[in-house]
């Protein structure tokens, strides 16, 4: 009789220290334009409403990738990255808009990219980073850039005021 045998030599479930990036600031951005475009994108048949970690309204992943209004503020953010962290070659991979209404939230998650970011267009529940005990305050023009592997999310919106924002991922292209 053949018996399946498994012998575990070692099992470790632990955390290791790892370098990460976490930047916050404010930036001038055309808030009415983006809120209007997010509302339109969330009503299109390509939307990702309630299909991702954002348990709320969401445009398609690359909805804002080539948006001319995004260029100037995004270039300022990319200049900040280039100035402060000596990054590898990278590019904008995806940029989407979201709206979190009463009861909506973003479940805690990470991304498989180089850096991720958010630009808030309104007040709302803050973006929490429990591993590093940091938050990004959701308010008009507040942005955050962070290492994509960092777990992040927002608790439920307990108000009738919707929270709007743009999120994006930057992909490392140095290996291409």
Could you tell me if residue 30 is inside a domain?
no
Whole-number average pLDDT of the chain: 93
pTM of the model: 0.90
Could you tell me if residue 28 is inside a domain?
no
Provide mean pLDDT across the span 118-139: 96
Could you tell me if residue 145 is inside a domain?
no
Dihedral angle at the C-alpha atoms of 7, 10, 14, 18, nearest 10 degrees? -120
pLDDT tens string 27-85: 999 999 999 999 999 999 999 999 999 999 999 999 999 999 999 999 999 999 999 99
Provide the sign of the torsion angle of the four alpha carbons 71, 74, 75, 78, taken in this order. Answer: negative
Could you tell me if residue 32 is inside a domain?
no
Structural domains in the chain (count):
1
Q: Which domain holds residue 76?
A: 43-97+114-123+150-176
> Does the structure show a pLDDT above 90 at 3?
no
- Residues near 83 by Cβ (< 8 Å), separated by ≥ 6? none
Could you tell me if residue 85 is inside a domain?
yes
pLDDT tens string 20-33: 999 999 999 999 99
Closest by CA position to 111, among listed 11, 5, 21: 21
């Amino acid at each position: 009789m053949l018996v399946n045998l498994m012998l575990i030599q070692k099992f470790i479930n632990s955390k290791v220290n790892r370098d990460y990036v976490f930047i916050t600031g404010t930036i001038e951005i055309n808030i009415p334009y983006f809120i209007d475009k997010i509302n339109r994108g969330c009503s299109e048949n390509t939307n990702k409403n309630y299909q991702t970690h954002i348990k709320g309204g969401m445009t398609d992943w690359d909805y804002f990738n080539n948006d001319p209004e995004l260029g100037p503020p995004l270039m300022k953010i990319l200049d900040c990255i280039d100035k402060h962290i000596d990054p590898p070659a990278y590019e904008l991979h995806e940029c989407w808009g979201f709206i979190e209404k009463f009861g909506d939230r973003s479940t805690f998650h990470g991304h498989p990219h180089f850096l991720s970011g958010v630009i808030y267009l309104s007040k709302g529940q803050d973006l929490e980073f429990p591993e590093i005990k940091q938050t990004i305050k959701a308010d008009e023009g507040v942005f955050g850039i962070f290492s994509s592997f960092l777990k992040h999310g927002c608790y439920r919106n307990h108000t009738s005021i919707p929270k709007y924002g743009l999120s994006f991922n930057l992909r490392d292209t140095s290996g291409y």
